[in-house]
């Protein structure tokens, strides 16, 4: 069971950011940027997978995520909780446990043998499915998972993540155009504010991160590998 009362959304965002900073899931490096999966540079990187190794923080954040979904979508809005392979799987299991609902997971692509399935577990036609992942940047990977869920005859109109980049304005519209609402706990803006409050990084690094957050595409274009 989950508690019946929770902080307001801004306070949950602040606490989530603090917990991510506490476990060093947040990495800022303006001098030697990280390379993202897209191949583009970034002075920021976040590793939400670390959360599974911190049971107290993990438990609080899963309570927060469950409460956020119930507040935004409704207390009886879902029949099945699906995790996206692989990072979303443990978080989907924890949310499903709190909501006392079946849990499934969605492969990135068919496994290539046996039933060649993308959905593992039991998902049936007409079920209302919540897709759970660790984070989202531009929402792209979510669309493939949502399509796989819908191919079963189930519906998927909501996705919930711990962390949303919050710096690419097209993300929520891209998901909305696909009939999906996004629910999240915190963004890079929340993390930057809390990092400043905690003096977690030096001032020059935080200033460069803020510059990136205000104009990520321009920042990346200026630093693309030749």
Query: Could you tell me the CATH number of the domain that includes residue 164?
Result: 3.40.50.2020
Task: Quote the number of domains for the chain.
Answer: 1
In a domain, 124, yes or no: yes
Residue 158 included in any domain: yes
Residue 1 lies in a domain: no
Mean pLDDT of the chain: 93
Residue 185 belongs to a domain: yes
pLDDT surpasses 90 at 20: yes
pLDDT mean over 162-187: 95
- In a domain? residue 101: yes
d(CA 173, CA 179): 10
Range of the domain at 123: 9-214
Q: 105: helix, coil or strand?
A: strand
Average pLDDT of the segment spanning 130-158 = 94
Q: Note the pTM of the prediction, 2 decimals.
A: 0.94
Per-residue pLDDT tens over the stretch 173-185:
999 999 999 999 9
- With 70 as the cut, is the pLDDT of residue 116 above it? no
Residue 220 lies in a domain: no
At 64-88, the pLDDT tens digits run 999 999 999 999 999 999 999 999 9
Please check whether residue 221 lies inside any domain of the structure.
no
Question: 46: which residues sit within 8 A by CB, 6+ positions away?
Answer: 20, 25, 26, 27, 135, 163, 191
Q: Across residues 1-21, what is the average pLDDT?
A: 90
Note the maximum CA span of the chain. 54
Using one digit for the tens of pLDDT, what is the confidence trace for 202-214?
A: 999 999 999 999 9
Within-domain flag for 104? yes
Contact, 157 vs 128, CB < 8 A?
Answer: yes
């Amino acid at each position: 069971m989950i508690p019946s009362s929770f902080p307001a959304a801004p306070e949950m965002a602040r606490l989530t950011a603090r917990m991510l900073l506490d476990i060093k899931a947040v990495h800022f490096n303006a001098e030697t940027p990280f390379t993202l999966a897209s191949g583009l540079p970034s002075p920021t990187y976040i590793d939400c997978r670390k959360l599974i190794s911190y049971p107290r923080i993990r438990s609080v954040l899963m309570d927060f995520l469950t409460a956020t979904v119930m507040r935004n979508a409704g207390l009886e809005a879902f029949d099945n909780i699906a995790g996206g392979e692989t990072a979303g799987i443990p978080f989907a299991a924890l949310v499903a446990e709190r909501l006392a609902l079946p849990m499934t997971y969605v492969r990135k692509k068919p496994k290539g043998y046996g039933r060649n399935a993308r959905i593992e577990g039991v998902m049936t036609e007409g079920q209302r499915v919540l897709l759970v992942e660790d984070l989202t940047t531009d929402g792209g990977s979510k669309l493939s998972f949502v399509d796989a869920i819908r191919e079963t005859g189930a519906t998927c109109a909501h996705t919930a993540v711990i962390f949303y980049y919050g710096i690419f304005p097209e993300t929520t519209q891209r998901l909305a155009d696909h009939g999906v609402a996004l629910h999240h706990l915190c963004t890079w803006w929340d993390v930057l504010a809390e990092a400043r409050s905690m003096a977690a990084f030096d001032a020059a690094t935080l200033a460069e991160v803020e510059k990136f957050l205000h104009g990520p595409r321009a920042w990346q274009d200026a630093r693309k590998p030749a």
